[in-house]
Amino acid sequence: MPYKSFEEYSDDVTDNVKNKYQEIITDLGEDTSRDGLLKTPERAAKAMQFLTQGYDQDPVEILKGAMFKESYNEMVIVKDIELYSLCEHHILPFFGKVHIAYIPNGQIVGLSKLPRIVDVFARRLQVQERLTQQILDCINDTLNPQGVAVVIEASHMCMMMRGVQKQNSTTTTSGFRGQFEKIETRNEFLKLIGK
């Protein structure tokens, strides 16, 4: 389905996930009848549905819903797109910024659609490498531009809060197609996003 702001929750899923959260919280040694935790399992169940709503959305339809014929054939950049996702290995957040560029080939897309497809792919259990590839491929395959570039810079709570506990580390991933495989075009893009 096209992009939507998800604030509706399946009662069946909410009840099922809520019960599992209640068991987890109890297994960790907490008292779920304690005042502060009474509604936590339900809130957590709804939060997980919100944070994984991307499974029910179609990024291709989002892009196709705002494609326009246009002769413009220079670089288009949307940078510093906020990113929030869940690492599939520990179900902990990772967050940062996405920078996207494309060179049209007879069609442009509404600018707000690029952040929307970032959200669709980010609101799934993810790894940053796959997320980069999915955004890149979706734009490339749907718009058929002369080139696409995607750079993601993110901090991962699974590295910051646990494990190696490196609070200042960031991870950068990138992908390039078409004209952005040429060093001159790639360097222009990287310069324009401040890298």
Nearest partner of 76 among 147, 136, 131, judged by Cα: 147
**Does the annotation place 158 within a ligand binding site?**
yes
What's the one-letter identity of residue 121? Answer: F
Measured CA to CA, the distance from residue 84 to residue 116 in angstroms comes to: 12
Q: How far is CA 185 from the centre of its chain?
A: 25
Nearest partner of 126 among 167, 168, 92, 160, judged by Cα: 92
- Options 57, 128, 146, 179, the catalytic residue: 128
For the question of residue 99 being annotated catalytic, the response is: no
Measured CA to CA, the distance from residue 64 to residue 72 in angstroms comes to: 18
- Options 42, 107, 133, 158, the catalytic residue: 158
For the question of residue 156 being annotated catalytic, the response is: yes
- Options 89, 129, 167, 181, the catalytic residue: 89
Residue 63: CB atoms within 10 Å: 22
For the question of residue 88 being annotated catalytic, the response is: yes
- Options 53, 99, 138, 156, the catalytic residue: 156
Residue in the block written with tokens 């599939």: 88
For the question of residue 158 being annotated catalytic, the response is: yes
For the question of residue 128 being annotated catalytic, the response is: yes
What's the one-letter identity of residue 161? Answer: M
- Options 61, 70, 88, 129, the catalytic residue: 88
Measured CA to CA, the distance from residue 103 to residue 144 in angstroms comes to: 9
- Options 53, 57, 87, 134, the catalytic residue: 87
* Residues tagged in the binding site annotation: 87, 90, 158
Which residues fall in the annotated binding site for Zn(2+)?
87, 90, 158
Question: What is the set of active-site residues?
Answer: 87-90, 128, 156, 158
